[in-house]
Structure 1
């Protein structure tokens, strides 16, 4: 079953209403503890925008964006996406990946519910790919969203990332194989 629906899930609508913490110290050129470099969208990118993005990111004009739903970004333009790789499963059960603006790539959660717990633990998709689960500071408002919409028991960022990496250890190599 192909997922063709582009209806934004309630969980992502809830995330789009949150002001994500971001504080940057220009003197030290570091983000303050507890920051999450994530800017939620209010809707998925269109099919055309998604196709344009994956083609530009990989240099592969044969790809289309049907396997992805782009739903957020970081401050550099890296994208948080659902990867529609599980046939017959709804969007909420698809893994969440991050494609960075400088070529960073990785699966950050096995499902949208686990992604909510990653954020609730203070770790955004870019931080998860580049730095792992360390340094996250829990966020009460994000925890409330995870509790309401995840449909799963609480998880720590370390648990979310370990499970995602165990299930999709070859994701970066798969993406590299798409690149031209």
Structure 2
């Protein structure tokens, strides 16, 4: 089984609740999901028993059953440099961040995978625990939060169409 990259592992250990009681709707796993479980989930999500699930490494989900995954789209890049994507329980779908560092930037801004896809423009207070993780790892917190999402989606414009084409 493939291990979580260091940043995702560190993020999985933090509390997703803000000091004011707000929370990021995400429940991380300490390791990537087992391939057999990912196969069953992807088959159910797409309705396609032969859809290729292997590019996706699921590392958590939201309260409704949506899942976040690393999408291994470029075999030349390490896992931490691959995009983060989200598959919602009600068909929401999209690229969340271009890589693990950009994903941590979103979490520092109080935005999780579901929020990044479903609530463009949502403004939340800085999440101090993730901001510290970002700062400790040299991640720039001055970048526009929603530009992180838009630039990731622009970098992978065919993701949604590709996945929808797999659905039966």
TM-score, normalisation: structure 2: 0.91
Shift of 1:152: 4.2
Shift of 1:72: 1.1
Q: Deviations over 1:151-175 (max 9, x none)?
A: 5433332121121121122221111
Conservation of the 8 A alpha-carbon contact between 2:18 and 2:127? no
Name the CA distance, whole Å, in 2 between partners of 1:20 and 1:152: 19
Shift of 1:110: 0.5
The answer to whether the aligner puts 1:13 opposite 2:9 as a matched pair is yes
Conservation of the 8 A alpha-carbon contact between 2:134 and 2:140? no
The answer to whether the aligner puts 1:82 opposite 2:78 as a matched pair is no
Structure 2, unmatched stretches of 5+, are none
The answer to whether the aligner puts 1:111 opposite 2:107 as a matched pair is no
Name the CA distance, whole Å, in 1 between partners of 2:139 and 2:15: 24
Aligned pair count?
A: 167
For the residue of structure 2 that corresponds to 1:159, the secondary structure is: helix
Aligned equivalent of 1:153, options 122, 129, 140: 140
RMSD: 1.9
Aligned equivalent of 1:132, options 103, 108, 120: 120
Structure 1, unmatched stretches of 5+, are 24-31
TM-score, normalisation: structure 1: 0.85
Structure 1 stretches of at least 4 aligned residues deviating more than 6 Å after TM superposition: none
